[in-house]
Amino acid sequence: QLQLVESGGGSVQSGGSLRLSCAMSGSSLGDYIIGWFRQAPGKEREGISCTANHGIMTDYAGSVKGRFTISEDSAKNTAYLQMNSLKPEDTAVYYCAAVWNLGLPLCSAADRAERYKYWGQGTQVTVSS
């Protein structure tokens, strides 16, 4: 059974960096589209980045473009979200998600959460000013 386990959240000051990890077990990461979402208190879950085709294709929401970088390590079967220049408005619970690419490895950061079948448990990121 496919599972996603996230790690790497924490508390940082504005301008700091964190790297989130999303370890997949039970299947091969490269066969899946990986998305990163976040949800702040009282707000809807927001798609912020995705990757497909073994990390060749990536996309970002405008709110994080230029600050966040998504990547994959096939040897570790793990996806990453490197977050730099963090802002207080980045404070949220961050989730990774996966869906089999069905031979069409395309994604958009704007894809709705309903597209994804598998979800991690979430990791809290708190950015203080």
Q: Provide the residue-wise pLDDT of the chain in tens; the chain has 129 residues.
A: 999 999 999 999 999 999 999 999 999 999 999 999 999 999 999 999 999 988 899 999 999 999 999 999 999 999 999 999 999 999 999 999 999 988 778 899 999 999 999 999 999 999 999
- Cross-strand partners of 71: 80
The residue type found at 67 is R
State how far the Cα of 28 lies from the Cα of 77, in Å rounded to an integer. Answer: 7
Q: Which helix (H) or strand (E) holds 4?
A: strand 3-7
